[in-house]
Chains A and B, each alone.
Chain A
Amino acid sequence: GENVEQHPSTLSVQEGDSAVIKCTYSDSASNYFPWYKQELGKRPQLIIDIRSNVGEKKDQRIAVTLNKTAKHFSLHITETQPEDSAVYFCAPSRGGTSYGKLTFGQGTILTVHP
């Protein structure tokens, strides 16, 4: 099955700094690459996603970059704010017969200090 790893497991930054989280995956058939944000006790919420025919996507302070050859994709958050503090999960998914099963990484705890 798909093996998904995230780095780092914890990340502490000062408000206004940038944060980068990297996700590596093993399944070369993966073609959908979302990032989810989960606040304590709440549901995972999709914050950005990218499909395999695109190398980069940006939405305001958040961006995702994809390197399909190397099988990794990264979440970039610029001008971090305390409300960005949460656990972030990558969850690559493949097409074909998987019907959209998401395989989550182990999560990255991001703490933004005011």
Chain B
Amino acid sequence: EPEVTQTPSHQVTQMGQEVILRCVPISNHLYFYWYRQILGQKVEFLVSFYNNEISEKSEIFDDQFSVERPDGSNFTLKIRSTKLEDSAMYFCASSEQGSPSNEQYFGPGTRLTVT
């Protein structure tokens, strides 16, 4: 069964550094998402992406964040100048269709630790 994959599984970075989190969505999916989950808290929506552009973004997704689909398979989240509060688990998700039939499949996540 196809799965969403993410790399790395764990990323440690120093405050102020830039990080790129990578995701490979399921191959026939057209809609891509990033969510984050601070330890012990709920999953929060960051951004959705369709047809090579951002469809929607949350208040969390400010100028520090950017997303890109650099080729036909990868979907990346870049965080510039990381802050301590960016420490969280970041999940990529993909779906075959957008609303309302939007069953989303999540990747295993990247744990980002900012020191």
| A residues whose Cβ falls under 8 Å from a Cβ of B | 31-32, 34, 36, 42-46, 49, 51-52, 89, 91, 93-107
The reply to whether A100 and B33 form a contact with Cβ atoms under 8 Å apart is yes
Q: A93-B100, A104-B43 are in contact. List 17 more A-B contacts (CB 8 A).
A: A31-B100, A32-B102, A34-B103, A34-B104, A43-B106, A93-B102, A94-B100, A95-B100, A99-B50, A100-B48, A100-B95, A100-B99, A101-B45, A102-B33, A102-B102, A104-B44, A104-B45
Return the CB mask of B42-58 against A: 1 if under 8 Å, else 0: 11110010100001100
List residues of B (83-115) whose CB comes within 8 Å of A's CBs: 91, 95, 97-109
The reply to whether B109 and A43 form a contact with Cβ atoms under 8 Å apart is yes
Within the assembled complex, what's the spacing in Å between the Cα atoms of A46 and B101? 13
6 closest A-B pairs by beta carbon, nearest first, are A100-B102, A99-B55, A95-B99, A43-B106, A104-B43, A95-B100
Picked from B95, B103, B108, the residue with its CB within 8 Å of the CB of A42 is B108
Residues in B with CB closer than 8 Å to A94 are 99-100
Residues in A with CB closer than 8 Å to B55 are 97, 99
Residues in B with CB closer than 8 Å to A105 are 42
The reply to whether A99 and B56 form a contact with Cβ atoms under 8 Å apart is yes
Residues in A with CB closer than 8 Å to B45 are 101-104
The reply to whether A98 and B56 form a contact with Cβ atoms under 8 Å apart is yes
Within the assembled complex, what's the spacing in Å between the Cα atoms of A36 and B101? 16
Within the assembled complex, what's the spacing in Å between the Cα atoms of A44 and B108? 8
Residues in A with CB closer than 8 Å to B35 are 102, 104
List residues of B (21-51) whose CB comes within 8 Å of A's CBs: 31, 33, 35, 41-45, 48, 50
Picked from A52, A95, A100, A104, the residue with its CB within 8 Å of the CB of B42 is A104
Within the assembled complex, what's the spacing in Å between the Cα atoms of A94 and B18? 33
The reply to whether B99 and A46 form a contact with Cβ atoms under 8 Å apart is no
The verdict on A44 contacting B106 (CB below 8 Å), with A51-B100, A93-B100, A100-B33 known, is yes
Residues in A with CB closer than 8 Å to B102 are 32, 93, 99-100, 102
